[in-house]
Amino acid sequence: MDLLIKNGTIVTASETYQANVAVSGGKIAAIGTNFEEHDFHDIVDARGKFVLPGAIDGHTHLALPFGGTISSDDYYAGTRSAACGGTTTVFDFVQQDPGERMLDAVKRRDALAAPDAAVDYSFHIGVGDVSTDELLDSMEEAVEYGIPSFKVYMVYDFGVDDGSFYKVLQKAKKIGALVGVHAENKDVNDLLVKQYLAEGKVSAWWHYMSKNELVEGEADVRAINLAKMAEAPLYIVHLADKMGMEAVTEARKQGYPIFAETCPQYLHFTNEVYKRDRGRNFVCSPPMKNQESQDAIWHGIANGNITTIATDHCPFKQAEKDWGITKKDGTSGDFTTIPNGCAGVENMYPYVLAQAGAGRITFNKAVQLCAANPAKLFGLSHRKGSVRVGLDADLVLYDPQKEFTITNEAMHGDTDHTIWEGVKLKGYPIATYSRGRLVFKDGEFLGRRGAGELIKCKKLSFHGPEL
């Protein structure tokens, strides 16, 4: 046997109990109390610590191009940062180019990820072109390859119209796939942007105003209605608004397979951040919303209508964020020129677990949202998401008493700031294992570039709101 983690308290989505975990060949080989210690190469005493499954971040954008720049975390920096926050699997997005088959898009992106990823990873495919039957049918090739999740954008120049969205939903239902959606009303967003710029309103606050609660909420409702029409499951990514939360709750009450993800930034910050001196650092899409929406999202977590928490990790350096004030060519910028995205992959699990420690949710709920549910939703529960014999030994040792203040200096990505600067947490990961390999301990990254593997996911089938 390779590793014995003894005397810890195992926490899964449904159970909390004391036991030892034996690891062999990168897998959890046994869980129990009676092991002969001389059988193990390495023994770790986890007394007073929690033994958790590694988190699964179902929403990252690594090495993402934006205008004339690219997000500051590539596949190595992003997965290194993930490991140091207890996340052992990330799902990144690959955007399909015009005329490109879906599987070709995956292989093109995997050529970038494979040499660099320090923990395991998989992909969602951003649908960009289903203008022909051949391109639409190529979704099935990707599913058979092990990539059964797709995403459509209702915004941006590469977004799809409602007819294409509906076609993708219909196809996904037939082939065992899940469609995620970035829901914002593009036409209203574009109109508001033009109005605000014409009025000289250029600060980060107007980014929020052009993508306000109703701009997002209307699109959430429309997306759910399209999924109902297609009789297909739907996954709403980065849900941040009250109207959308209410629509998700009602659809699930009616028995529809509608699932929603939210992000830590929406649980901790409100739109007030856009009034700060460096409000541009918080520019992301969708933006943080008002307190009423934040309260609604927390209520959705409590009643089970938020299925997962992910990060939308997509950091840019401060100089790049400053494009909202001055463009690279020296001309004046505005809120539309600020690169969209914030760091979060290292903060997700610690933040959510700290909320459990504070009594806002249970530790079991934290594990459910950050590990078990993403594994079930994306088709990798045969390998990830729990502390169970036969699964990958993706394990996190968590000290519920450790005091930690988030600073960019203590983070492990490649960006030069964090929106989480100064946030205090009680409880923090002290060690992370990826398939039994120690990749993080006591603040230090110990993993290896390229050690991560592309995880092939299973076909998906949802007949109701339960996973």
Structure tokens at 304: 């089970």
Cα 330 from chain centroid (whole Å): 35
Residues in contact with 19: Cβ distance below 8 Å, sequence separation at least 6, in sequence order? 8, 10, 31, 32, 33
Query: How many Cβ atoms from other residues are within 10 Å of residue 12's Cβ?
Result: 20
Per residue in 282-308, pLDDT (tens digit) is: 999 999 999 999 999 999 999 999 999
CA pair distance 395, 464, nearest whole angstrom:
30
User: What pLDDT score was predicted for residue 323?
Assistant: 83
Amino acid at 453: E
Residue 59: name the closest of 97, 101, 87, 96 by CA. Answer: 87
| Poorest-pLDDT segment among 65-79, 188-202, 318-332, 426-440 | 318-332
Q: pLDDT-based confidence at 20, cuts 50/70/90?
A: very high
Are the CB atoms for 93 and 124 separated by under 8 Å?
yes
**Are 119 and 89 a contacting pair, CB within 8 Å?**
yes
Q: Are strands 395-405 and 3-11 parallel, antiparallel or unpaired?
A: unpaired
Q: Average pLDDT, stretch 151-174?
A: 97
Separation between Cα atoms, residue 42 and residue 5, nearest integer Å: 9
The predicted model gives 401-428 an average pLDDT of: 98
Structure tokens at 226: 């399209």
Q: How many CB atoms lie within 10 A of CB 302?
A: 12
Q: Compute and round to an integer the Cα radius of gyration of the chain.
A: 21
Single-letter residue type at 289: K
3-state helix, strand, coil in the chain (%, to 5): 35, 25, 40
What's the order of all strands across the beta sheet hosting 87-95? 55-60, 87-95, 120-126, 149-153, 178-182, 234-236, 258-262, 308-309
Q: Helices marked H in 254-305 — which ranges?
A: 264-268, 291-302
Helices 242-253 and 291-302, packing angle to 10 deg: 30
Q: Please, are residues 244 and 220 in contact by the beta-carbon 8 Å criterion?
A: yes
Q: What is the mean pLDDT of the chain?
A: 97
DSSP H helical ranges for 303-400: 318-321, 348-357, 363-367, 373-378
- Return the closest-CA partner of residue 150 out of 168, 130, 117, 125: 125
Q: What is the mean pLDDT of residues 140-158?
A: 97
CB 338 within 8 A of CB 324: yes
For residue range 57-95, list pLDDT tens digits in order. Answer: 999 999 998 777 899 999 999 999 999 999 999 999 999
Residue 146 has pLDDT above 90, yes or no: yes
Give residue-wise pLDDT tens across range 218-254. Answer: 999 999 999 999 999 999 999 999 999 999 999 999 9
